[in-house]
Amino acid sequence: MKELIRTNDAVVLSFAESLMKDAGIGCFIADQGMSILEGSLGLLPRRFLVDEDDADEARQVLIDAGLEAELRDA
C-alpha cells in the first residue's frame, strides 16, 4: 500500500475515498481506530492508502479533483 494523504480532515478523507470509489480504485484509511483512543480530538492524522499498482492513477484523480495540496511527496 502507498500513502497518498495524511490528514486530520475527515472531509478530505471522505472526498478522496468517494473519488476512488467512482474511479474503481480500492483504498484504505489507516489509523481510524487511533482517533477513538485519543478522544476524537483530531490530534492524530489518518493515512489514505491505495495499492502500489493504482498509486499513479489515484494520484492523478486526486490532482484533477483539486486535492494536490493534500498529497504526500511521491
Domain boundaries, the chain: 2-70
Multiple choice CATH, 2-70, 3.10.180.10, 3.40.1160.10, 3.30.70.790, 3.40.50.880: 3.30.70.790
**pLDDT tens profile 8-67:** 898 999 999 999 999 999 999 998 777 566 665 667 889 999 999 999 999 999 999 999
Give the predicted TM-score (pTM) of the model.
0.86
What confidence score (pLDDT) does residue 62 get? 98
Strand pairing of 2-7 and 46-50? Answer: antiparallel
What confidence score (pLDDT) does residue 38 get? 60
d(Cα 48, Cα 7) in Å, to the nearest integer? 8
